[in-house]
Amino acid sequence: MLNDLRGAAGSAGGDRSALARGLVESVEDGRAKLYLTWQALSARCEYPGLFAEGEYLPLAAEGEKARHLFAFARRLGSTEAVVVVPRLVARLTPDGTPPLGAVWADTHADLSAMPGGAWRDAFTGRRLVATDGRLAAAELFSYFPVSLLFRGE
């Protein structure tokens, strides 16, 4: 299954949004969890110092569904990572659907402690830019219900 995911990710190129969304739509087969684990561990291998020694920065969530969002950042030199994940999902989407897109209303992660610049999402390959120091949860979770963002080198 992992080899199939690697092949699909390779043929998707830099934008793996459709792949990520397809995995979420068939979450019962386990590939979404495997993809998340593979990509997160790959990121950890790519940035070992960031995860082992990087400064931990808690990030605030704001907006209507703020209690359903958890976010933090790691920083080491000019390399930064932001992790944003949903929480209390059964209350957020009681019908069991993945918490994607509009369900997040005006909720956002406050990245004002990490001003400027674009971020690359490890799961979708998409480029995201914080507007006024904020990243909208609806945008973060357009295709995949977890975000792991990187910038710097």
Per-residue confidence at 31, pLDDT binned at 50, 70, 90?
very high
Structure confidence at residue 117 (pLDDT)? 79
Residue span of the structural domain in which 89 resides: 2-151
Q: Does pTM top 0.85 for this prediction?
A: yes
User: Are 99 and 93 a contacting pair, CB within 8 Å?
Assistant: yes
> In this model, does residue 59 exceed pLDDT 90?
yes
| Residues with Cβ within 8 Å of residue 59, at least 6 apart in sequence | 71, 72, 73, 82, 84, 109, 110, 111, 113
Q: What pLDDT is attached to residue 99?
A: 93
- Tally of structural domains, the chain: 1
Judged against a pLDDT cut of 90, whether residue 108 lies above it is answered with yes
